[in-house]
Amino acid sequence: MTDNMENHLKTQLEAALKPDYCEVVNESSQHSGPATESHFKLVVVSEQFNEMKLIDRHRFINKLFAEELSHIHALAMHTYTPKEWQKRQSAPESPECSSKS
């Protein structure tokens, strides 16, 4: 079941942004609570971000997933232009959940 939301998010990102790189990670198991599809991390590299400020990239993704975000507790977004990604080659690690038992 976990793959359903993960795959859905990735499919939507690929259709909307035609990314050079796209990774969707379900991090729900790293957090407290019973939800298995509640915390996700996105790493997206797209030419379409070239003309967007960081806040606009995040707004774009929030709008794309407006319905999904009513079911998702946390969505970490790491959005890069190809040039930015070339310098980084990776996204930051997610912090440990402070409420995980």
Q: Which single residue is written with the structure tokens 């959940």?
A: 97
Provide the CA 59 distance to its chain's centre, in angstroms: 12
**pLDDT at 69 exceeding the cut of 60:** yes
Mean pLDDT across the chain: 86
**pLDDT at 98 exceeding the cut of 70:** no
Strand pairing report for 74-80 and 21-26 = unpaired
Looking at residue 33, what is its pLDDT? 62
Looking at residue 76, what is its pLDDT? 93
Of 59 and 97, more confident = 59
For the domain that residue 80 is a member of, what is the CATH number? Answer: 3.30.300.90
- Residue 99: inside a domain, yes or no? no
Mean pLDDT for the stretch of residues 33-47: 84
C-alpha 20/C-alpha 85 separation (Å) is 10
Which structural domain, as residue segments, surrounds residue 49?
2-88
Beta bridge partners of 30: none
Domain tally for the chain? 1
**pLDDT at 93 exceeding the cut of 80:** no
